[in-house]
Amino acid sequence: MISFGVVKIMDETFFSYLSLFCENGVEQEYVEGLIEQFNKASDGECYQLALFSYHLLFLCYIYQILYKIKIWIPDDYHIAMVSFYEEKRKKFREAKSPIDFVHEDNKESSIFEFLNMLCDCKEVVSMCKNLVKFRNQRLGHINYLLVSKEVFERQIEEYNKVVFSVHQLTNENLLKTFSEYLDDLDSEIEQTRDELEIKFISLNKISEKDLEFLVLKHSKNKDLKVKSILKIFKEDFSVYV
């Protein structure tokens, strides 16, 4: 398990939007490495390197969202892959973790279009594409322009705003998935942290921010089953709203 929430810069990063559990060691090592690179570079005022790491983390987040779409709306997801050629279509349809979406033919701007499967979100997709444009213009090629602290802070704020907007798109499906999980529970069996980790949090690539949203939305729910789960979210996963 990776605890992203402890890493802070300027009081806020989007790390708490990343899944609490990685599917495998490769994803965990890569994400942890990027977080370490980001912190070292930003602490050392190497803002270009810090932003490049942050951009890669942003793409890790997008791949996690894409995997959630695959889990939450599989039929629509399956149909959406029709436009890919056979090898890539098969790879995406059979993806078992976010890292399985890595492909040599991926174009970042095209990947963002899959967010429209959650809802019509032209504006959010455009915001994502603008982040890629900034990366290409300022970080992807030599231009002899160093990133100042002011530009760095402004761009970090922009990344965080985009990630927040993307997360908002998932809320309806997140609530639906949690509701289905509750419906399948045996009311006679007490929920534990381990049960929630295995059958809900890890399975659905849930993040700290996902848990916060669920706690907020169900804060007035009087059902004992729901209250016991929210208590675990708060006490065992340090979720505060």
DSSP three-state, residue 221: coil
Please answer whether residues 47 and 147 qualify as being in contact, where contact means their C-beta atoms are separated by less than 8 angstroms.
yes
Amino acid at 23: E
Tokens representing residue 67 in the block: 């995997």
* For the chain, percent of residues with pLDDT exceeding 90: 78
Amino acid 83: pLDDT: 85
The answer, yes or no, to whether residue 11 has pLDDT greater than 70, is no
Reported as a pLDDT band with limits 50, 70 and 90, residue 5 is very low
* Cβ neighbours, 10 Å, residue 96: 10
Query: Which residue type, as a one-letter code, is found at position 43?
Result: D
Which pLDDT score is estimated for 6?
32
Question: Is 146 among the domain residues?
Answer: yes
Within a domain: residue 197? no
What is the average per-residue pLDDT within 189-199?
91
The span from the CA of 93 to the CA of 145, in Å, is: 41
Separation between Cα atoms, residue 219 and residue 222, nearest integer Å:
8
Predicted local distance difference test score (pLDDT) of residue 108: 84
How many domains does one find in the chain?
A: 1
| pLDDT per position as a tens digit, 119-168 | 999 999 999 999 999 999 998 888 888 999 999 999 999 999 999 999 99
The pTM is what?
Answer: 0.91
Instruction: Tell me whether residue 180 is in a domain.
Output: no
Q: Is residue 229 domain-resident?
A: no
Reported confidence tier of residue 195, pLDDT bands at 50, 70, 90: very high
Residue 241 domain flag: no
Q: Is residue 4 part of a domain?
A: no
Concatenate the DSSP letters of all residues of 78-100 into one string: HHHGGGS-HHHHHHHHT--SGGG
The reply to whether 161 falls in a domain is: yes
Domain span at 107: 15-170
The answer to whether 10 touches 156, Cβ cutoff 8 Å, is: yes
End-to-end CA separation in angstroms for the chain: 22
Which pLDDT score is estimated for 109? 84
Q: Percentage of residues in the chain with pLDDT exceeding 70?
A: 95
* Residue 230 covered by a domain: no
Confidence of residue 190 (pLDDT cuts 50, 70, 90): confident
Residue pLDDT, tens place only, 95-115: 999 999 998 888 888 899 999
